[in-house]
Amino acid sequence: MLLPATTIQAIIEEFQEVHDTGMKYALSKIHDKLAILNLQDSEISQILEDVSKEDLFKECHKGPMKSDHTRKSFFKKTFNYIEPTKIYLGADEAGRERYFQYVPIKETLKSLLSQSVVKDQYRETKMKQSNSQPSVLTDVLDGKTFKDNTLLNESPHLCL
């Protein structure tokens, strides 16, 4: 998300160019091999056309990765993107306004832990640690402050 869209587009176009060159070469080799098998030119052309239609790389380039807007929409939807918060720092010596980007930790953790795979991995790791080394403190739930807190003892799910 931090690379300029023009840079990403240039990289994609160069990859596409390399891929197209490789496909042309591969199709010419397939053509030669099929010609050796005495297939008719119309059959060879149909096979090569079918192979070209199934080019996954080209399909990706046409689909959600075809433009900056569609790529960003795809990434935000697929990877639970958390929008950075722009925080004003004030003006510098030259009078230019300065900002920094902060990705909210709480929302990031909520997003991460909303994925069942991550929750399962956390629970599995926690179970292994507590079973193999009960005397080792691994997180806040193992500490004296947590164990002595009435509210957290009654509602431990508040920490998860």
Q: Give me the residue spans of the domains in the chain.
A: 5-78, 115-159
Q: Judge whether residue 9 has pLDDT over 80.
A: yes
Which pLDDT score is estimated for 47?
94
Q: Judge contact between 100 and 87, C-beta under 8 A.
A: yes
Q: How many residues does the chain have?
A: 160
DSSP string, the chain: --S-HHHHHHHHHHHHHHHHHHHHHHHHHHHHHHHHTT--HHHHHHHHHHHHHT-HHHHHHHTTTSSHHHHHHHHHHHTT--PPEEEEEEE-TTS-EEEEEE--HHHHHHHHHTSHHHHHHHHHHHHHHHHH-TTS--SGGGSHHHHH-HHHHH-GGGG-
Query: What per-residue confidence (pLDDT) applies to 22?
Result: 94
Q: Which residue has better confidence, 145 or 21?
A: 21
Residue, of 154 and 128, whose pLDDT is higher: 154
What number is the average pLDDT over the span 136-140?
65
How many angstroms separate the first and last alpha carbons of the chain? Answer: 29
Residue 121 confidence (pLDDT) above 90? no
Which tens digit of pLDDT belongs to each residue from 19-73? 999 999 999 999 999 999 999 999 999 999 999 988 888 877 777 778 888 888 8
- Mean pLDDT of all residues belonging to the chain: 84
> Can you give the pTM of this predicted structure?
0.45
pLDDT in tens, 69-86: 888 888 888 888 888 899
